[in-house]
Amino acid sequence: MAAQPAMGSLLTVVEVAFRAAEPAVTPSEGARAVERALERFLRDQPRALARAVARVPHLLPRRATCLTLSSSAAVLGALVAAQGRGRLAAVIVAESRPGCEGVTTARRLAAARIPVRLVVDALAPAAVRDADAVVVGADAVTSTAVWNKCGTFAVALAARAARRPLLVVTAEDRLLPTPLARLLRLPDAEPAAVLRRPPRGVVVVNRLFECTPLDLTSRVVTESGAWRPSAVRARLADGEVSGWWAVAPRRGRGGTRPRR
């Protein structure tokens, strides 16, 4: 959790573990509970993603062009499934620096014989006008925001301006009620990756993840449904948590908690 503080599924695994281990948890009991929860997560995750992926083709027009960014198993599976159902004609992919995960996504789509246009990140918002829908993944979804790779906010704003739907494809283990959402952080990346020796007066901000307002999304697509933002908020408002987060140690490098 300290290493990946923007990934909601890790918080869910620990939440499930502590619910199973209550009321009394020793360190060794907690460790075993987390291990069992992780095993269940690894077993159930592929099935959950497969069910979420299967819902996406029905939400696209026939022969659609979709825009995406970064690398998401859920998004890749959804686009391949859409092509198999005759719903997908082509994909526009943002390169997604600094890791360029979008380049990997482009290669995988091309291997599935899907026509791809790879664009630099700065062009992605403008390229939304050439798409019929924007499809992205999520590292976490809260009652206010979608946490995903930097660049998502820009294409979400472009989708709203161009009146294109924005679909977020993910599993429900990444939907976090407010007490767990408060633990999320946007970790800072190495400034030297942008500018090795900044001149006096220059502060370098390098970050891999960002928050996109939930209300900019059209649907959050999970294994149990395709939910509008209001429905996501209603589901998360009913969520209960065990309270382990109130005593969990805070470790790891600094980061930013967005205002809510």
* Active-site annotation, residues: 139
C-beta of residue 40 within 8 angstroms of C-beta of residue 15: no
Measured in degrees and rounded to the nearest 5, phi and psi for residue 250 equal -100, 115
The rounded distance, in Å, linking the Cα atoms of 170 and 136 is 9
DSSP 201: T
Through-space distance between the first and last CA atoms of the chain, rounded to whole angstroms: 21
171-188 in b/e form (b: 16+ CB < 10 A) is bbbbbbbebbbebbbbbe
List Cβ neighbours of 204 (8 Å cut-off, separation of 6 or more).
191, 194, 195, 198
If one counts every other C-beta atom within 10 angstroms of the C-beta of residue 217, the result is 27
E-state strands within the chain: 64-69, 88-94, 116-119, 133-136, 140-141, 145-149, 166-169, 186-187, 209-213, 219-222, 225-227, 255-256
